Structure 1
Amino acid sequence: MAPRVLVSDKLSQTAVDIFRDRGVDVDFLPELGKDKDKLLAAIGQYDGLAIRSATKVTEKLLAAADNLKVVGRAGIGVDNVDIPAASKRGVIVMNTPFGNSITTAEHAIALMFAVARQLPEADVSTQAGKWEKSKFMGVEITGKTLGVIGCGNIGSIVCSRAIGLKMRVVAFDPFLSAERAEQIGVEKVELDELLARADFITLHVPLTDKTRQIIDAEALKKTKKGVRIINCARGGLVVEADLAEAIKAGHVAGAGFDVFETEPATDSPLFGLPGVVCTPHLGASTTEAQENVAIQVAEQMADYLVRGAVTNAINMPSISAEEAPRLKPFIRLADVLGTFVGQATESAILEVEILYDGSTAAMNTKALTSAVLAGLIRSQVADVNMVSAPIMVKERGIILSESKRDKSGIFDGYIQLTVKTARQTRSVAGTCFSDGKPRFIQIKGINLDAEVGEHMVYITNHDVPGIIGTIGTVFGEAGVNIANFSLGRDHPGGDAISMLYVDAPVRQPVLDKLMAQENVVAAKPLAFNLG
C-alpha cells in the first residue's frame, strides 16, 4: 500500500505533484490545518503531514496520529511542532533550514532602507495629496555602522549585502571565529561594543533562553542616540515596550519589525510610533522562497516514506534504514555529549575534536558527528538539526577534527568530545551499555559512571570529607530529590566532580546556596532531551 500524506497548509501545486510522481498518495486540504477538530479526526489515516505555520502539531494531535511517521515543515521555524512529543512517538520532524535565507536577509535590508528614509509614511502622505518634502528628512546608509547580532546563514548574507552598500559591519556571535569574521569582511565584537558603536542594529538569532529579550531597556541604554533597530528573526528577542519607550524619549530614531512577541500581532507598543515600520512576518514571503521550501519538504518526505532516507530532520540524523537500530542509541549519546559541553561552555568555541574508540569507529561516524555538533550548538541555535549543524559550524570557522582507533580500554566502544575555547579545554566521554542508555564515563579526564537523566546538575568541588553530605543537605532542604549521584576525582584530596540526576529542574537560588558552600567550586544545571 502506498504511503499517504496530508498537506494541511498552503503549499505549491509543484510540491503536491512531487508526492504523486514519487508514488505517495496525497490529500491536498490547505484549510484543514486551521480546524483543530477536523484535523484531529482525520490525522490517524496518514503516514506523513506536510505543513507550514498554520497547522499546530500538538501532543494531542500526535497522540491521535497512530500511523504518522514524519512531519515536514516547509520553512525553518518549527515553533508550531511539539518536537519532544513527536520524538517520544517516533515521529521524524523535518524542516527546510536554508530555503528562506536570502528572502529573509533581503527583507531585513528592505526594512533598514524603509526606516532610514521613512518610506511608508512618505508614501501615505504623498498619496493623500500632500507634498511634505521637508517633513521626511532621512539618513544615508553609506558609511554607517551596522551591528549584526547573529552571524549564521541569514546574518552572514545580511553582512554581505551591507558591505556592498558601503556600510561598516560589526558582528556579535559567540560561534563566529576571528578567521570566519575576516573571511566575510566583518569585525567581531562583544555585544556591549556592538550596542555602543552601531547606527543600525539587525537581529538574526533564534529565540532561546540565552537570546530572549537580548534587547531590553538596559541594552538600549548602551546604544548611541539615533540608533535604528531591525528585527526579522523572532519575536521576543526585543522587549517591545522598552523599545517603544526609547523611541518616545527620542533615544532610538526608528525601528523595522517583521516579527512580534505575540503573533498574529493585532496590537503592539510599537504600533503608531513615528519612525516605526511594521510588516506581518513577511521574511519568507516571496514567490521564490515559498516554492523552494515547498519543493524541498515534498522531496524530503517522499524520500523518507518511499526509500527510508532521512534528510534535514530536527530529531534524527541522516541515516539509512539498515543501520538505524544499532546506531540510534549512539546517536542519542553523541547528542548528549554535545549538549553537555554546549551548556557548560560560555566562551566562543574555536576547535572541536571527536574521538571514536572501539566499536563506535566502525559506525556511521558522519551521523554521530552531526549529532554531536547539533547538541553542541543547540543552546545558541534552537532550530539546528543533524544536517544543518555541520554547515553552521563550518560557517562560524570552528575547526573540526575526527579520529578513530581500535578498542583501548574496558569499554567495547565510546565517544570522546574535546572542545577548545580561548580560555579552556573541556573534555567529556560516554558510552552506551546493553540497555541502550547513554552514560558519562569521563569528564575533564576524571573517570566516573553517571546515568544520564532529563534534569541533571554538574558540580565541581574539592575532594574533602563531608562534601557528599553538604550537597545532599542543600538539595534535601530545598526539596530536590536526587535519583542518581555519581562521583569522580583525579586523586585523593584533589579536584572532584559530581553528576546528579534529579527529578526536576533545580532553581537558581538552590544552586546559589550550593555554590556558597565551602569546597564547592561550581554548579551547573543541565537539561537533556532523551526522546
Structure 2
Amino acid sequence: MPKVLISDKLSPAAVQIFKDRGIDVDFQPDLGKDKDKLAEVIGQYDGLAIRSATKVTEKILENADNLKVIGRAGIGVDNVDREAASKKGVIVMNTPFGNMITTAEHAIAMMFAVARQIPEASASTHAGKWEKSKFMGVELTGKTLGVIGAGNIGGIVCDRARGLKMKVVAYDPFLSQEKADKMGVAKVELEELLKRADFITLHVPLTDQTRNILSRENLEKTKKGVRIINCARGGLVDEEALADLLKSGHVAGAAFDVFAEEPAKENPLFGLPNVVCTPHLGAATTEAQENVALQVADQMSDYLLTGAVTNALNMPSVTAEEAKVMGPWIKLSEHLGSFIGQMTDEPIKAINILYDGVVSEMNLAALNCAVIAGIMKRANPDVNMVSAPVIAAERGIQISTTNQEQSGVFEGYVKVTVVTSKFERSIAGTVFSDGKPRFIQIKGINIDAEIGQHMLYTTNEDVPGIIGTLGATMGENNVNIANFTLGRSAIKGEAIALLYVDDPVPAAVLDKLQSTGLFQQVKTLEFDVA
C-alpha cells in the first residue's frame, strides 16, 4: 500500500480521497514548517502532498529514498527544488486548473480597484472624510488591455475583458494566430503591446525568459497613464523602476498581488498613491482551495496506483487509459534501452529512436523517457523515467525521434540506435498480441526473441557447430535454456544468438565459450521483467 504524507493544510475531503483510494495517508498539516523533522521522516513515504508552506529542498530530497511523487495543491512550485527532484527521480505535479477562474477573477478585480481607486476611497470614507472629488477614476469600457501570457488564466482574463467591452491585445510566443482569432484578441509583439495598452496584466510563469519582462526599459516604452496589474508571479516586473515611474506620473497606477520577495514586509511600491496591494490572494477562495486539494489527491493517487501522470512538470503526462495501452510498449522501450546500455562501454554521443506504425501515434515523450532510462540504468541502477532525461542532458547526449507509418510486417515497432565516437549500435522490438515484448532485430539481423530476466548474447561467423557448442556447454554446466533464438546477415556471414536461460550464466561458462574460438563476443544480459 503506497504511503502519502500531507505536510500542509489540505481539506478533509482531500485526505478522504487518499483513504478511499486505498492509500495510507499521514496527515500532519504543520510538519512542513519543520524542515529538520520533515527531512528525518520523508524516507518513509511514497508521496508528499504540499501547499506553499513546505519547502522541498535538495537536503530533504537526499533523504527521500522511497519518494515517487510530490503533489503541489496549486500552480506555483517555487517551493520545490525541481532539479533535485528530477535527479532523484521524483515526479513533481501541480494543479494548474483548480484555481484558474479564481486567479483570473482576482486580476479583473484588481483592475477595477486601481481604475476607480477603490481601496484609497474606502479608507478615506472609513476615516470620516467625504473626498468625492479626490478619487476620479477611469472606465474600462473601450480601453485597451494588454495581456502578457494568454494561456489558461490569461485566456480567462481575455474572455472576461472582452465581456467588459475592452479591446484586448495579447503577447504570447506560444499563441497561434488561429487561437488568437478564436479568442477574439489581437496577437501582437511585446513592443506593440507596450505602446497600445491602457492596462497591462501579466499571466506568465517566472522563468529566465520572463524575469523582469517589464524591465525599466520596457516600462518606459509604455503609454503614459498606463496601469499595471500583476497577479502572476513576483519578479516579472522591476518594482524599483515601476515605483519611480509611478512617482513621475508616467504610470497612473498599479495593482500587485505578488512580489519579488514574499512575504513582502517592505517593498518600493508600498505607500505610493493609487497602488493596490494584496498578500498573494490570487487563489484564495474557498472554491479554489477545495478544488486544488481534491485535484492533487486524485492526481497523486492515480500515479501511485495506476501509473497515470497528470500535470507533471518534469515528466510527460500519461493518462490512465494511455498507461494501460502503453504499458507493454513502455516495458519494451526500457528493454531496448537496457540492451543498448549493457552492450555499450563507450560514451554515448546520441540516441536516435524510431517509432513505426501504431506505436508512432502513442505518447512518444513518455516512451523516449523509458528508452533513456533503460540505457542509463547500467551506470546508475536508481535512474528512472524522470531522472534519465536529466542525466542524459547533463552528459550532452543528443536525443532525436522519428515516427513513421507502418512500413513492414509488424503492426508497430520501436528501433533504438546509439552513436558513439567509434560505432553505431541498434536494436528493434515489438509487442505481440499477447502483450509480451520481443526483440525483432539486432545489428540489422532479424530475429524473434522472447525477453527473459537472464540472457546470453553471442556473435560469431555463420559456421556449423554453434548451436551444438552453446547447448552442450550450457548443459554441462547445469544452465537450463528456456528459449534459443538465432539470426544471421547472410550464409557464412555474421550471426548472432540470444539465449533466455533460467539462471545467471556463471563467468566460468563465458570463459569456456570464449576459449572455443568460435565466438567474437559472449555477453550476459539482465532484464527487469517484473
SS of 2:309's partner is coil
Higher relative contact order (CA 8 A, sep 6+): 1
Does the CA contact (< 8 Å) of 1:357 and 1:404 recur in 2? no
SS of 2:25's partner is strand
SS of 1:135's partner is coil
Q: Which residue of 2 aligns with 1:312?
A: 311
- Counterpart CA distance in 2 for 1:41 and 1:402 is 46
- Counterpart CA distance in 2 for 1:112 and 1:330 is 55
Does the CA contact (< 8 Å) of 2:336 and 2:427 recur in 1? no
Q: Which residue of 2 aligns with 1:106?
A: 105
Does the CA contact (< 8 Å) of 2:358 and 2:406 recur in 1? no
* 1:404 to partner: Cα distance: 2.9
* Runs (5+) with no aligned partner, structure 2: 338-351, 369-385, 387-401, 418-423, 429-530
Q: Deviations over 1:229-275 (max 9, x none)?
A: 00111111100000000000010000000111111111110011001
Does the CA contact (< 8 Å) of 1:51 and 1:72 recur in 2? yes
Q: Which residue of 2 aligns with 1:413?
A: 415
Q: Which residue of 2 aligns with 1:288?
A: 287
Q: Which residue of 2 aligns with 1:368?
A: 364
- Counterpart CA distance in 1 for 2:427 and 2:63 is 32
Does the CA contact (< 8 Å) of 1:360 and 1:414 recur in 2? no
Q: Does 1:231 align with 2:230?
A: yes
Q: Which residue of 1 aligns with 2:134?
A: 135
Q: Which residue of 2 aligns with 1:422?
A: none
* Runs (5+) with no aligned partner, structure 1: 332-355, 373-384, 386-400, 416-430, 436-531
Whichever residue aligns with residue 61 of structure 1, its letter is I
* 1:309 to partner: Cα distance: 2.5
- Counterpart CA distance in 1 for 2:163 and 2:10 is 34
Q: Which residue of 1 aligns with 2:152?
A: 153
Does the CA contact (< 8 Å) of 1:118 and 1:138 recur in 2? yes
Q: 1:407 to 1:214 in 2, by over 3 A?
A: farther
- Counterpart CA distance in 2 for 1:270 and 1:10 is 31
Does the CA contact (< 8 Å) of 1:358 and 1:405 recur in 2? no
* 1:84 to partner: Cα distance: 2.1
- Counterpart CA distance in 2 for 1:160 and 1:130 is 37
TM-score with structure 1 length normalisation?
Answer: 0.65
* 1:54 to partner: Cα distance: 1.0
SS of 1:162's partner is helix
Whichever residue aligns with residue 53 of structure 1, its letter is S
Does the CA contact (< 8 Å) of 2:354 and 2:403 recur in 1? no
* 1:307 to partner: Cα distance: 2.7
Q: Which residue of 2 aligns with 1:456?
A: none
The structure with the largest alpha-carbon Rg is 2
Whichever residue aligns with residue 177 of structure 1, its letter is S
Whichever residue aligns with residue 116 of structure 1, its letter is A
* 1:70 to partner: Cα distance: 1.2
Q: 1:60 to 1:132 in 2, by over 3 A?
A: same
Between Structure 1 and Structure 2, how many residues are aligned? 366
Q: 1:412 to 1:18 in 2, by over 3 A?
A: closer
Q: 1:134 to 1:29 in 2, by over 3 A?
A: same
- Counterpart CA distance in 2 for 1:326 and 1:286 is 46
- Counterpart CA distance in 2 for 1:252 and 1:328 is 56
SS of 2:260's partner is coil
TM-score with structure 2 length normalisation?
Answer: 0.65
Q: Deviations over 1:297-354 (max 9, x none)?
A: 10111122223332222222216355444446999xxxxxxxxxxxxxxxxxxxxxxx
Q: 1:101 to 1:414 in 2, by over 3 A?
A: farther
Q: Which residue of 1 aligns with 2:188?
A: 189
SS of 2:362's partner is helix
Whichever residue aligns with residue 282 of structure 1, its letter is L
Equivalent positions of 1:307-346 (< 5 A) are 307-317=306-316, 318=318, 320=323, 322-327=328-333
Equivalent positions of 1:13-28 (< 5 A) are 13-28=12-27
Q: 1:223 to 1:328 in 2, by over 3 A?
A: farther
Does the CA contact (< 8 Å) of 2:355 and 2:403 recur in 1? no
Q: Does 1:41 align with 2:43?
A: no
- Counterpart CA distance in 2 for 1:114 and 1:202 is 13
